[in-house]
Each structure stands twice: as C-alpha cells, then as structure tokens.
C-alpha cells in the first residue's frame, strides 16, 4: 500500500490539521508532514553576468521581431562561402555560348513595357466583429504593439456589429479583438496561428488579393 | 470579416500573475505598467531597455526553474534562453503590461522541453549544487539528516512527471494556492488536485523507506 489516505492528502494540501485525522491515521499524517518538511525552499540566485550574456545575445540579433528562420536566411546570404566547381571542357564551351546569348538579349534593343502590377505599400483593411452584448470592442495586434486602447471599434447602427478600418503597411500582421477589456477573441473570418503559449492570433497578409491601393 | 456564429467563444485563459519573490513573499503587481512601457520602448527600437526586464525578473523564477530542472546551473541556462526567446517573440506579447506572466510561460515551456530532452538523455540530477542551509541551533547530525532528506526528496521530485513536479513546486516551494496556480498555468482546481495527489502517492512510493 503506497498511497496516502485521502484525509492525509487533505492534510498535505493544507485543508486539514493533524488533529483532524482519526488516531489511526496520525502516524501516516506525521510522516507525510515530514515529507513537506524536507522541501528545499532555499532562494536561487543566478550568475550576475547573466544580464550581460542576454544583452549580448540580443545585440547580435538586431531589432526584435525577426524570426530565427529569417535571421538564418540573412546570415546564409551574407556570409562568404567557398564554392568548388568541376567543369568538363565541352560543357564550358556550351556555357560560354549560352552566356553570350544571354548578354545579347539583355543589352539588345527592347520594346517599351507597360508598368506591371506592384505590391502596394499599404492598404485599407476593415475589421468587423459581431459581438452581441458587448459594451466595448478594441483591436490589438502587432501593428499597434498589442495596445488595447489604441484602436477601438465603433458600433454600427445595426447594434451588435463593431467595425474599424485601418491603413496597414504591407506584410503579415497578427491581431485579436478584445471584448469588454478582458476577452480575447480571434477573428472567425481570418486564419489563426498558435502564438506558442496556448492562445491563438488571427493573421492578415496585406499586399495580397483583397485590399485596394491607397 | 464577419463573426456570423452569433456567440462569442469562451474567454481565453489570460494569466494574470501575482508573482512571488525568491523568499516566497508576495510581490505587489506594481511593476506592470512600467513593464508595458519598457516592452513598447524595446519594440520601438530602444533595445537597451530590455536589460530592465532582465534585471527585474532574472531571479524571480530562478527557484522554480531550478526545482523543475534539478540544478541551479540548468536553471540559469533555461532563464537565459527564455529571455532571449522572449526578446525574439516580443511582438507576440499581447499584454505588455503582463510581461511577467508571459515570460513565465516561455520559461515554463523551456523547462518542459529540457525535461523531455533529459528524459531521453538520462541526465543526472545535480544534488550537490545546493548548499545545505544549516541552522545554528541544530546538532550537526540533525543538519546532516535534514540535508540528506532534502537531497532524497529532490531526487524523487525529478522522477515525477514534469506536470506533477510543476504543481508540487508551485504549491509547496513557491507557496501558491491551487487557485493561484490555475491562474498561472490554466486548468481547473480539480484537475490540479488530482495531479498533486498522484504526485503525493508517487513520492511516498519513491521514499517508502523514509515515510
């Protein structure tokens, strides 16, 4: 029998005292309290140099917000590296001919071209939430540093529909609605991603289809 | 983007942490607005101000990490990594005023991940890392006995599941109530009690020669 009696567990939880236990359980209760008496509550102090190590590490990273993947990509592109090529002579001849053709194509006369579509630098985005019973709705996201006071939504005349329109820079933004200052609500009409801490953020990509140029 | 389902989803768990300092005393939640201002300044490019957050919280969760991982050295690595990861993801911090609670969740994830790695590697617990806190009025053999019991309990704690160990540490080392633990890590009081009671039974089994 290795399980504590339920009353002894209540004793360990601080919901009962030794005197509350029946006499036949007091020995087990006393042993259980000795277990708690052996707990090490000694404060742990970390190396004073930890602060400097953290700041040195983030100093190498630049401004926050760059993902580790993008940092790795930038590093891969910027670091010099050695390339070794083994070329057969006849392949070299074909390659030189192809390169000459490419140069001729690039420097030769070209017909004027109409300007192609460009990615807008920013776009208007309307956010709409149907929130019956809400008295206040705000929008918080990466574009306003998750400031719940920065972007309140207006209640539409219909009653329970809340809207706001923002000009957002091109790129991906994460956001959520905050209802009545306390309830975080993802946008049901947008994809959502895990924020890594058990909650979900909605995601919008500005610059793709759906927005219009300013 | 129209919310057409007619009902709001259930409220998201938003940990609002009431922190304790390293001696177990409750800390007032007075730093929160300061934290929010610092987080916003860092996001705006004033990177050096991140040092304020590091200085403020570096020791606050060190004991939690040490008991979760089995040694102060492992705790130090975990806290350092958690600060760097928090910096990387600072734009995802939805409640800058609650940086402490958000940082705790990052450190917690780090401790759980380290625990999983250790389980695969079979890392030994550093039982000699913590000095035995001697009390002047006790006999030397009593101090030795107390130190031995402390080591045995710490070794036994490392053999619990990470979830069991965490609830034990938060309740009996950090001194939080079940309700405070639910605010910190989510879940229900009933579920936490069940986890804790299984931890008690497991500890009794592991320490059966002692208790």
What pLDDT, in 10s, does the model give residues B140-150? Answer: 555 566 778 88
Question: Alpha helices of B2-139 — where are they, by DSSP H?
Answer: 32-43, 50-57, 62-69, 72-88, 99-121
Q: Specify the domain boundaries for CATH 2.60.40.10 within chain A.
A: 122-206
Whether B75 sits inside 8 A of A46 (CB atoms) is yes
Read off the pLDDT of residues A119-157 as tens digits, 9 standing for 90 and up: 567 888 889 888 888 999 999 988 888 888 889 999 887
Of B43, B92, B173, the CB nearest to A41: B173
The pLDDT tens digits for B38-58 are: 999 999 999 999 999 999 999
- List the strands of the sheet with A161-169, edge to edge: A122-130, A161-169, A154-155
* Predicted local distance difference test score (pLDDT) of residue B14: 38
CATH of domain B139-211: 1.10.10.10
Model-level ipTM above the cut of 0.85: no
Q: Which residue of A has its CA nearest to B38?
A: A145
Give the mutation candidate from A9, A46, A176, A180 for the B interface (greatest B CB count, under 10 A): A46
Residue A175 contacts residue A142 (beta carbons within 8 Å): yes
Per residue in A85-127, pLDDT (tens digit) is 566 666 666 666 776 766 666 665 554 444 444 556 788 888 9
Residue with more model confidence, A131 or A70: A131
Quick check: A69 contacting B, CB < 8 Å?
A: no
**Fold entry, domain A122-206:** Immunoglobulin-like (2.60.40)
Mean pLDDT of B136-142: 51
A4 → closest Cβ in B94, B133, B204: B204
Please, which residues have CB within 8 angstroms of residue B118's CB and are 6 or more apart in sequence?
B69, B70
Whether the CB of B7 is below 8 Å from some CB of chain A: the reply is yes
Residue A59 has pLDDT above 80, yes or no: yes
Residue-wise pLDDT for A32-54, tens only, equals 998 888 888 888 989 999 999 99
pTM, two decimal places:
0.60
**Contact between chains at A65 and B152 (C-beta distance less than 8 A):** no
- Exposure of A124 in the CB half-sphere (CA atoms within 13 A): 7
Q: What is the CATH number of domain B29-123?
A: 1.10.1740.10
pLDDT tens, residue by residue, B81-131 = 999 999 999 998 988 999 999 999 999 999 998 877 766 655 545 544 443
Cβ neighbour number for residue B112 with a 10 Å cutoff: 15
* pLDDT over threshold 60, residue A213: no
Name the residue ranges covered by the structural domains of chain B. 29-123, 139-211
Beta-carbon separation of A35 and B58 below 8 A: no
Q: Say yes or no: B94 contacts chain A, CB-CB below 8 A.
A: yes
Residues in chain A with CB shorter than 8 Å from the CB of B47 are 58-59, 63-64
As a whole number of angstroms, the distance between CA A141 and CA A65 comes to 13
Q: How far is CA A160 from the centre of its chain?
A: 30
Contacting residues for A158 by C-beta, under 8 A, at least 6 apart: none
């Amino acid at each position: 029998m290795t399980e504590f009696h339920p009353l002894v567990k209540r004793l360990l939880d601080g919901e009962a005292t030794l005197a509350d236990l029946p006499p036949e359980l007091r020995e087990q209760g006393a042993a259980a309290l000795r277990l708690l008496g052996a707990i090490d509550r000694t404060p742990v102090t970390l190396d004073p140099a930890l602060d400097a190590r953290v700041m040195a590490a983030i100093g190498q990273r630049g401004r926050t917000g760059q993902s580790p993947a993008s940092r790795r990509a930038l590093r891969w592109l910027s670091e010099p590296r050695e390339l070794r090529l083994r070329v057969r002579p006849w392949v070299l001849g074909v390659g030189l001919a192809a390169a000459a053709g490419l140069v001729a194509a690039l420097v030769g006369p070209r017909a004027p071209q109409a300007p192609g579509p460009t990615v807008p630098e920013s776009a208007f985005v309307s956010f709409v939430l149907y929130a019956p019973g809400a008295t206040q709705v705000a929008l918080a996201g990466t574009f306003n540093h998750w400031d719940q006071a920065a972007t309140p939504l207006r209640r539409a005349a219909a009653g329970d529909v809340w809207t706001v329109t923002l000009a957002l820079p091109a790129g991906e933004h994460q956001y959520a609605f905050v209802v009545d200052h306390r309830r975080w609500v993802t946008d049901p009409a947008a994809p959502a991603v895990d924020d890594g801490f058990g909650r979900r953020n909605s995601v919008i990509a500005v610059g793709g289809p759906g927005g219009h140029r300013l | 983007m129209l919310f057409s389902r007619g009902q709001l989803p259930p409220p998201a768990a938003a940990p609002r942490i009431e922190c304790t300092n390293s001696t177990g005393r409750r800390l007032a939640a007075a730093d929160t607005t300061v934290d929010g201002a610092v987080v916003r300044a860092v996001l705006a490019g004033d990177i050096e101000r991140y040092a304020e957050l590091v200085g403020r919280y570096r020791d606050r969760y060190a004991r939690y990490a040490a008991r979760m991982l089995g040694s102060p050295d492992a705790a130090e690595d975990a806290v350092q990594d958690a600060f760097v990861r928090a910096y990387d993801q600072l734009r995802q911090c939805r409640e800058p005023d609650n940086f402490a609670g958000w940082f705790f969740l990052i450190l917690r994830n780090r401790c759980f991940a380290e625990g999983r790695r250790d389980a695969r590697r079979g890392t030994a617990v550093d039982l000699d890392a913590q000095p035995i806190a001697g009390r002047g009025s006790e006999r030397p053999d009593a101090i030795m006995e107390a130190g031995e019991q402390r080591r045995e309990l710490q070794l036994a704690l490392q053999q619990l599941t990470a979830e069991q160990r965490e609830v034990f540490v938060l309740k009996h080392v950090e001194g939080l109530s079940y309700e405070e633990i639910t605010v910190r890590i989510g879940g229900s009081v009933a579920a936490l009690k069940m986890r804790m009671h299984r931890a008690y039974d497991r500890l009794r089994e592991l320490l059966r020669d002692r208790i």
